[in-house]
Chains A and B, each alone.
Chain A
């Protein structure tokens, strides 16, 4: 019986933990302290519920408990006038001896949650720290879970989180929503963190499968929550669209032996239609807001071109080329240029694509990137230049760190060699 209640406590706490931390942070103005208080509330619930029974509204109970703990903490720490004024304001809100649990739950928690996302993704923190702190504070993941997902040692992750919290306190980062002109920069940091989490799961090449899959789910969950908290931001919907559509292919991107399957070779009947539908809807929402599309909306639009094609042959490559050109203007990078070359190779033929790839040959950022020789090999193969193609695939096989991909590339080396006229 007690174990059952413990499980309920832990489940409810995890569902509510981000909101609890956010509410406590608004009162204490310190996310480190806020997280500690949310943990305290969990401990209190674990003690009380088995004795007194599960409250009617467990989420509201936790929220009320956390707020009281937070106010207590502030009261104890009051050292100067300004804080006292703050406290007076808080007390006015929470002065009832009989707290109204319903009201506690109905507080506009959305803004607090948004503040928490912004602070966890603050640019003053390193990318690693932002990712770890976001998973901890917004996802309610334990240090151990984060460590497993990122194949890191638990103490390393724990350290990272402690340091991040310290940095936020030291730099006196306010628990506020950023305003223009800072907003754009802060928002892009948030989107970057969510997409990093998603990609860590999506590009999983090693590690425990279960935890990696959870990362994709977690990133999607955060993205979907953010889309409701900041519905007026087109790039938020762009990112959600991109993740939904990419996630729709998760089942199809490896074969039965776990080897990667290229997009055009994937069995499209295994694509998840529900996620595609959701992705296209999010993209529409982003597009409908007008203005020039940002990098996430453009990448989502490209992904959508593939999602809409029922067979690989039906892909609208001309539109994809156009979108890559726009993406290259908005977010120029050699990787985007390489992808554009692939699209041109499909829209206008391998010779046109190869021309663009050759221009990237001396690009230092791509010198160790296995996809450059891999793409070149692909185009050469289609031009019938098997000897050159096999050499490129070999180069790519040497550069990739993914064992399955390496095998695939070596097979292509052999296939090309087999077709060289002797």
Chain B
């Protein structure tokens, strides 16, 4: 299974804090360990919300807001995509993430596979999703 690991933003990450050389080498070592174990498929860091935008809608009205956004805990500062054999395994890997800053959190979100939808995923829904995929691929 694949798990997306969402790294939650912190006041430091929002302030565009650059990690020290030591922190950076710790993180590099951890990433290397993930690669060596065949776990890491992908991963990137994200700009602070000051460089970002949000598009929201409500009752048919679309609003575009430029960052920064205030609620740091609800923001994402980076992500990994891990290939693991269970969510438990992802938890164990996540416990080994070097702690940057005093407080921090990651959220482990299994990526949906088509089969996860089970019976509710009718051929009709599937077909509609296929249509959407086709259009977005263009």
Contacts and interface: CB of A to CB of B under 8 A. Distances in A.
B130 A267 contact: yes
Contact of A225 (B38, B93, B115): B38
B73 interface: no
Given A11-B86, A228-B35, A251-B114, A270 B92 contact: no
Chain B contact residues, majority secondary structure? helix
Nearest to A226: B38
A110 B92 contact: no
A274 B123 contact: no
Contact of B133 (A7, A14, A269): A269
Interface stretch (A24-32, A155-163, A176-184, A215-223): A215-223
Given A110-B36, A267-B130, A220 B89 contact: no
B88 A270 contact: no
B81 interface: yes
Interface residues of A, number: 28
Nearest to B122: A256
B54 interface: no
Interface in B1-47: 35-38, 41-42
Contact of B137 (A221, A225, A269): A269
A334 to B, nearest CB: 34
A221 B91 CA distance: 18
A152 interface: no
A225 B36 contact: yes
B136 interface: yes
A228 B32 CA distance: 9
B126 interface: yes
Interface in B68-125: 81, 83, 85-86, 88-89, 91-93, 114-115, 123
A278 interface: yes
A8 interface: yes
Contacts of B42: 274
A151 interface: no
Contact of A268 (B38, B91, B136, B137): B137
B35 A270 contact: no
Interface string A91-110: 00000000000000000001
Interface in A195-233: 209, 214, 217, 220-225, 228-229
- Taking residues whose C-beta sits less than 8 angstroms from the other chain, chain B's interface range is 20 to 34
A225 B115 CA distance: 27
A228 B92 contact: no
A12 interface: yes
Nearest to B127: A256
B92 A12 contact: yes
Contact of B83 (A8, A220, A310): A220
A11 B133 CA distance: 36
A32 B93 CA distance: 28
A169 interface: no
A68 B58 CA distance: 63
Given A15-B92, A228-B35, A274 B137 contact: no
Contacts of B36: 110, 225, 228-229
Interface in A238-255: 251
A11 B41 CA distance: 20
Nearest to A273: B137
Contacts of B92: 8, 11-12, 15, 58
Contact of A274 (B35, B38, B41, B133): B41
A140 to B, nearest CB: 9
A245 B53 CA distance: 34
Nearest to A214: B85
Top 5 A-B residue pairs of the complex, sorted by shortest distance between their CB atoms: A224-B38, A269-B137, A221-B38, A269-B133, A11-B88
26 contacts: A8-B88, A8-B92, A11-B86, A11-B88, A11-B91, A11-B92, A14-B85, A14-B89, A15-B92, A15-B93, A110-B36, A214-B85, A217-B85, A220-B38, A224-B35, A224-B38, A225-B36, A225-B38, A256-B123, A256-B126, A267-B130, A267-B133, A269-B136, A274-B41, A274-B81, A278-B41
